[in-house]
Amino acid sequence: MKKYSRQREALLTELRGRYDHPTAEDLYFSLRAIMPNYSLGTVYRNLADLSAEGIILKITSGYGPERYDGNIKPHGHFTCKKCGKVYDLAGFYEKHIDGQKMVEELQKSEAAKDISTINEIRIMLYGTCKNC
Ligand SMILES: [Zn+2]
Ligand SMILES: [Zn+2]
């Protein structure tokens, strides 16, 4: 058990120290360099647990494999449709989108007739990045 919690901590430290929204495989290759016994299956299991617990963010953009973010504060993302990379839109979300107001207005409207609770807003923009 001890080994698994250590691996989980190492994954969390790695993810929180980078801003490129790595895939499970990206994390696996980085973690293998410091913990040779870390298996891809364990990386997937830890990622699933951590995202289910709300400690990390799982990003499903629709382009390429799922990616992960150690920053769970609301912030906007941009996905490159060519390479599948996900970029942070630093400050953009706060500046342009009043999430609280949007949710309040939505909850009063006919559009929310089937919605019980709203507890998360995700903003994803799509296009092509400068590396592509
Ligand atoms: Zn790209
Ligand atoms: Zn992010």
pLDDT for 4:
63
pLDDT per residue over 81-101, tens digit each? 999 999 999 888 778 888 889
**Ligand 2 centroid to residue 21 C-alpha, Å:** 6
**Ligand 1 centroid to residue 22 C-alpha, Å:** 14
**Ligand 1 centroid to residue 121 C-alpha, Å:** 24
Residue 1 pLDDT more than 60?
A: no
Surrounding residues of ion ligand 1, Cβ less than 5 A: 80, 82-83, 129, 132
Shortest-distance ligand to the CA of residue 63: 1
Residue 28 pLDDT more than 60?
A: yes
pLDDT for 2:
56
pLDDT per residue over 107-116, tens digit each? 999 999 999 9
**Ligand 1 centroid to residue 84 C-alpha, Å:** 6
pLDDT for 97:
81
Shortest-distance ligand to the CA of residue 78: 2
Residue 69's pLDDT band (boundaries 50, 70, 90)? very high
Average pLDDT of the residues of the chain: 92
* pLDDT > 90 fraction of the chain, expressed in percent and rounded: 80
Report the relative pairing of strands 57-59 and 67-69 from DSSP bridges. antiparallel
pLDDT per residue over 29-62, tens digit each? 999 999 999 999 999 999 999 999 999 999 999 9
pLDDT for 3:
59
**Ligand 2 centroid to residue 19 C-alpha, Å:** 7
Domains located in the chain, CATH noted = 1-72 (1.10.10.10), 73-132 (3.30.1490.190)
Residue 19 pLDDT more than 60?
A: yes
DSSP structure string for the chain: -HHHHHHHHHHHHHHHT--S---HHHHHHHHHHH-TT--HHHHHHHHHHHHHTTSSEEE--SSSS-EEES--S--EEEEETTT--EEEETTHHHHH--HHHHHHHHHHSGGGTT-S-------EEEE--TT-
